[in-house]
Amino acid sequence: MSTIVLLTLTGLGLAGLYFLIAAGLSLVFGLADVLNFAHGWFLTVGAYAAYWAIPRVGFAGGVLVAVLAGAATAALVELVMIRPLYQRTISQVLVTVGLSLAGVALFQALFSPDARTFPSPSWTEGVVTVLGARVPVKSLVLVVGAVVVLAALLAFLRWTRYGLIIRAGVENREMVTALGIDVRKAFTLVFAIGGAAAGLAGALSGIAFQSIAPSGGSSLLIFAFIVVVIGGMGSITGSAVAAVAVGLLQQFVNYYGSAGMGDLCAVALLAAVLLLRPQGIAGKVAS
Amino acid sequence: MSLLSVRDLVVTLSGLRILHGVSFEAAESGVTVLLGRNGAGKTTTLRAILGLAPATGSVELAGEPVLGTRTHALVRRGLGYVPEDRCVFAGLTVAENLRLAERGTPDYDLVFGLFPELRKRSAQRAGSLSGGQQQMLSLGRVLLNDNRLLLVDEPTKGLAPKVVTEVAEALERVAERVPVLLVEQNLAVVRRLGRAAVVLAAGRVAWRGDAKELLGDHDRTKSLLGVGSHS
């Protein structure tokens, strides 16, 4: 029983990390039709920003710096590199793939390609007992971080004018424009929100893995893409459900099967969803 | 006097020329009807005026050139758009659809006066409304704001006859307040609302003049539109 509880909570922690990356990716694709392969780099920016800031301003301040760095980087990327390329899908893919590669190279040059020990506060390295299982605090931190971001995003989408614009834009961007709304401002905002969540994921991944590396964001991005497709492009709730499914599946299969089988099962789940429900759990039907 | 002046409008989409130099004017009051068979270029003309389709030529709104202006800015200058197939946001409620369209001081009294059903259904998701109710919502979104001209694309398409009458009545009342450039296939609606008419054929203006005169000439209507004026 305690093993099940442990696997469930660590699986939910992994799901939290996936959700934090996938949320922005999903909103950006749903609203702006941009498949952003540089999104993982925003996580790396957040991770290194936290790595730099935590010893200087403490844990909470460091996490805040990571969030702001992710948001600012994402907004800048949208304004400078993506905005001139709307309607040019292939160019967007090339630019964002190029940026993700160049971004990794930049951090390798600045901090060396080797992983660095993350300055986690000591309280995140302990364990707590939940229903007889000794659960790492870092997993619970990821769960709490993801739940807070999920609630904040849902409240933002539900209660604010820009949230309304984003929800409408995911359905029909052209019609939003035809109501007199400059949807490009919403694009920048969505990039910034996604970058903030990825920046937070960067800081929390440092705690979870106890180290950071320049390629950390890129290696997590593939699972975020799987979550986004399973959850449905543009759906935050769908991403949350899909992240839980993928996180738990990986954790249980890796424990009861052999190591690496969980990743394979996540890809198999993706294939099954694409075959049976191509729009994902809660996504819009492609038109 | 014309409110909207379109000159030599050319639209090419995916290498295919859709409009071949369309020129016409929309009056500053009443309803100007844009007619034509399927594929004549009516919807493309509205979309090009609004900047939703790439176009060359000239479009002037009250004497000011507007072609090349971004769509949202054009709408904010008073060009309201009711698209073909309604395009309501299905996942949003009626109230949210209306709230999204608000600019300045929205006139909910006008909208709910014309379409009281929208007030009753404000908490209902727009996707679960009937076709007629969706059309009312689509019109309501535009009527919340002050407009100089409304571009309305086939508002009665696919609606039951009773609802067609309701929509036509609403448009008639709307046209008393703001001029309308209307794309419409239903000749009964054209007869009821239309003052001036422009007929497109294969991306060109084939005829323009008084709507009643056009519909009074059965043979001309038949040759231009493929249907008799009694239909």
Interface predicted TM-score (ipTM): 0.91
SS3 A119: coil
Q: Do B101 and A180 lie within an 8 Å CB cutoff?
A: yes
What's residue A284's pLDDT? 59
Q: For residue A151, what are the contacts with CB-CB under 8 A and spacing of at least 6? A: none
Q: Are strands B64-65 and B55-61 parallel, antiparallel or unpaired?
A: antiparallel
Q: Which of B13, B71, B93 to mutate to test the interface with A (most CBs of A within 10 A)?
A: B71
B120 vs B94: CA distance, rounded Å:
10
Put simply, whether B95 touches A (Cβ < 8 Å) is: no
Does B204 score more than 70 pLDDT?
yes
User: Rounded to the nearest 5°, which phi and psi values hold at A205?
Assistant: -70, -30
For range B114-135, the mean pLDDT: 94
CA distance B185 to B205: 16
pLDDT at residue A132 in the model: 87
* pLDDT at A34 (0 to 100): 87
Q: What mean pLDDT comes out for the span B106-130?
A: 94
DSSP per position, chain B: -EEEEEEEEEEEETTEEEEEEEEEEEESSSEEEEEESTTSSHHHHHHHHTTSS-EEEEEEETTEE-TTS-HHHHHHTTEEEE-TT----TTSBHHHHHHHH--SS--HHHHHHH-HHHHHTTTSBGGGS-HHHHHHHHHHHHHTS--SEEEEE-TTTT--HHHHHHHHHHHHHHHTTS-EEEE---HHHHHHHEEEEEEEETTEEEEEEEHHHHHH-HHHHHHHHSS-TT-
CB contact under 8 A, B71 and A177: yes
Nearest CA to CA, how far is A157 from chain B (Å)? 11
Searching chain B, which residue's CA lies closest to the CA of residue A177? Answer: B72
DSSP 8-state symbol, A122 = G
Smallest CA–CA distance, residue A28 to chain B, in Å, is 18
SS3 A35: coil
Nearest CA in chain B to A171: B89
Domain B2-87+149-225, CATH number (from 3.40.1190.20, 3.60.21.10, 3.40.50.300, 1.20.1080.10): 3.40.50.300
CB contact under 8 Å between A179 and B50, yes or no, is: no
Give the integer Cα–Cα distance in Å for B69 and B52: 10
How does pLDDT run across A173-202, given as a tens digit for each residue? 999 999 999 999 999 999 999 999 999 999
pLDDT at A285: 47
pLDDT at position A283: 67
- The whole-angstrom distance between A242's CA and the closest CA on chain B is 20
Query: In this structure, are residues A286 and A50 in contact, taking their beta carbons and an 8 Å threshold?
Result: no
Tokens encoding A12: 């939910």
- CB < 8 Å to B141, chain A: 179
CA B215, CA B208: separation in Å to the nearest integer? 12
Name the minimum distance, in Å, from the CA of A174 to any CA of chain B. Answer: 8
How far apart (Å, rounded) are the C-alpha atoms in residues B136 and B174?
12
Q: What is the pLDDT of residue B89?
A: 95
Q: Are B187 and B116 in contact (CB under 8 A)?
A: no
Residue located via tokens 């400078």? A80
Relative to beta strand B149-153, strand B79-82 is: parallel
Q: Which residues of B touch A183 (CB under 8 A)?
A: 72
Residue B219 pLDDT class (50, 70, 90 cuts): confident
Residue B228 pLDDT greater than 70, yes or no: no
- Region of A274 (left: φ > 0; alpha: ψ -120 to 50; beta: rest) is alpha
Burial string for B162-179 (b: 16+ CB within 10 Å, else e) reads ebbebbbebbeebbeebb
Q: Which residues of chain A are under the pLDDT cut of 70? A: 283-287
Beta bridge mates, B198: B34, B208
Cα–Cα nearest to B44, from B196, B164, B154: B154
B218 CB near a chain A CB, below 8 Å? no
Query: What are the residue ranges spanned by the domains of chain B?
Result: 2-87+149-225
Q: Cβ contacts (< 8 Å) between B103 and chain A: which residues?
A: 180
